[in-house]
Structure 1
Amino acid sequence: MADQEVIKHGKNIIRLAGSKEHSVKHKLREIAIEFFTIVFAVTLSIWLHGLSEHHHQQQEAKAFLIGLRTDLKNDIASIDTLIRDHRRFSANFTYLASLDPRQMPTDEKFAKVVAESDANHYFRPFTSRYEGFRSSGKMAYIEDQALLDEIFELYQMALPQIRSSEGGWETRQGKLRAYQDEMLEGDGLADHFKLFTSPKGQRLVKKMIAPEQLFDRYESYRKQATAIVKAIEAAYPELKDQPTPTATKA
């Protein structure tokens, strides 16, 4: 529509310029009016287009943040489970490290700990939505700079720190598994007792006690994720009373 208006007024300028019916002064005044009409039409068109584009961008940002809220609330629940599991794993290895090699336990606790000694649990956050939005270059659509900074800090700093700590724990578990594969003579409780109470077995199980750094990093991620969820809910108050859908990993 704006293009048609520009063409129409452009033709009027050409017609006025070639007209012999009016004085030069009159033609200049009319041409100036047509010229400023064109400028106004183009400016208005650009402004309306920009307004529409901005609205579209904000709708995309809102959809992303609402989805991110779901992802993070599921991550927070996962972190809670991780902390509980790793506390239990650490208690198990603390128990194994305290065994007296001269006397094998006869209670059910030893059997239960042995059964769980090879268990593991790692953080698997919902990152596909974030990665997709970031790789498409749309993160700048989020106009709340403080919120944007918090999101980047969570995924670019807090998450890699967790992966680093978990990677160290996984490496230590791999060494314990290798030692078991090499030295475990059978699958009975007595066989496991002999292995876990050997000098090397004791060194390995002690290293499997998770350092507090791992729990600190889990807590840091949970704290930052919770702050982001609250910021999103503050931006879109209608979310507070809505149930959180269960996210699915891509």
Structure 2
Amino acid sequence: MQDEIIKHSKKIYSEMNNKKHSFKEKAKEVFAEILIIVFAVSLSIWLHSWSEERHEHKDAQTFLIGLKEDLQNDISNLEETKKKLDKTQQQISFALHLTPKKIDSIKANHQQIQSGTNLINTIVNNGRYEGFKSSGKINTIENQNVRNEILSYYQQTIPQIVHVEASYDKLTSKYVDLLLSGKEDEDINKTVLKQKTKIILSGINDFTKYNQKPYEDAIKQAREIIKEIDKEENK
């Protein structure tokens, strides 16, 4: 393209210095060469822009296809965490209603007392998203609804999950510390019966009961994003 512009520029210069042509002839030739240059430059810019848009569109589509897999894995992990919260809530609720008589009865029947908690640490597959966002390509996702949902999921919904799990960890750590604070030969089940332990257990019970909604919302949102991506693929 640069060679073509140079060639036509030389023609303009040559024509301007052509003593055989009249001013009218020179103007006609120069104008024609200028039109050729303008057209060539405009065409070059358009082709470059078109190629860039195609490349960006392809990158966005590749990202969305990969993101579907990430979201499907997230859904599995979120559902697993939700099950653990359910299990913890059941165990804590059981522990809250323990009495010395119930403990003796359970022991007499050689049954195990489930009064513990479950570790939760939801793995979120956000590496692909973070890489795409940091490259400045997030706006290449043409569907604004899909783009906004993705941003909302990773910047609002997932941080809320992280906050819930950090709070859960602090709460359950207090419970574990209490269980371990007794004497070495002390029956751990007696610690569960203490008033201070009951207060913490009550807090964990309420927490696990009322903090399952963020997981339900995250799962729902991830499924909606997958559905929207599928629609884009089928266009």
- The answer to whether the superposition gives a TM-score over 0.5 is yes
Deviations 1:120-169 (A, max 9, x none): 12211101111111111110111111111101111111111112222211
- 1:4–1:140 Cα change, 3 Å: same
Give the secondary structure class of the aligned counterpart of 2:211: helix
Shift of 1:102: 4.2
Give the secondary structure class of the aligned counterpart of 1:125: coil
Give the secondary structure class of the aligned counterpart of 1:208: helix
Q: Are 2:222 and 1:229 aligned? A: no
- Measured in 2, the distance between the counterparts of 1:159 and 1:77 equals 14
Shift of 1:109: 5.1
Q: Are 2:195 and 1:203 aligned? A: no
Q: How does 1:32-47 map to 2 (within 5 A)?
A: 32-47=31-46
- Measured in 2, the distance between the counterparts of 1:184 and 1:90 equals 27
CA contact (8 A) 2:182 2:188 kept: no
Q: How does 1:129-168 map to 2 (within 5 A)?
A: 129-168=128-167
Give the secondary structure class of the aligned counterpart of 2:184: coil
- Measured in 2, the distance between the counterparts of 1:184 and 1:3 equals 86
- Measured in 2, the distance between the counterparts of 1:79 and 1:170 equals 16
- Measured in 2, the distance between the counterparts of 1:73 and 1:197 equals 42
- 1:143–1:154 Cα change, 3 Å: same
Shift of 1:5: 1.2
Give the secondary structure class of the aligned counterpart of 2:122: coil
TM-score by length of 2: 0.93
User: Aligned-pair RMSD on alpha carbons?
Assistant: 1.7
Give the secondary structure class of the aligned counterpart of 2:118: coil
Deviations 1:164-205 (A, max 9, x none): 22221111111112212322534xxx7121111111121222
- Measured in 2, the distance between the counterparts of 1:208 and 1:184 equals 24
Gaps of at least 5 residues in structure 1 are 239-250
Letter in 2 for 1:196: V
Shift of 1:72: 0.2
Please list every run of at least 4 consecutive aligned residues from structure 1 whose deviation after the TM superposition is greater than 4 angstroms.
none
Which residue in 1 is equivalent to 2:216? 219
Gaps of at least 5 residues in structure 2 are none
- Measured in 2, the distance between the counterparts of 1:52 and 1:108 equals 73
Report % sequence identity.
32
Give the total of aligned pairs.
231
CA contact (8 A) 2:85 2:208 kept: no
- Measured in 2, the distance between the counterparts of 1:108 and 1:165 equals 36
Pick aligned residue for 2:188 from 186, 192, 196: 192
Letter in 2 for 1:54: E
Q: How does 1:82-161 map to 2 (within 5 A)?
A: 82-104=81-103, 105-106=106-107, 107=109, 110-111=112-113, 113-114=114-115, 117-161=116-160
- 1:138–1:182 Cα change, 3 Å: same
Which residue in 1 is equivalent to 2:5? 6
Q: Are 2:212 and 1:178 aligned? A: no
- 1:213–1:48 Cα change, 3 Å: farther
- Measured in 2, the distance between the counterparts of 1:234 and 1:150 equals 14
Deviations 1:20-70 (A, max 9, x none): 111110110010000010000000000000000111111111111111110
Q: Which moved more, 1:29-38 or 1:118-127?
A: 118-127
Which residue in 2 is equivalent to 1:247? none
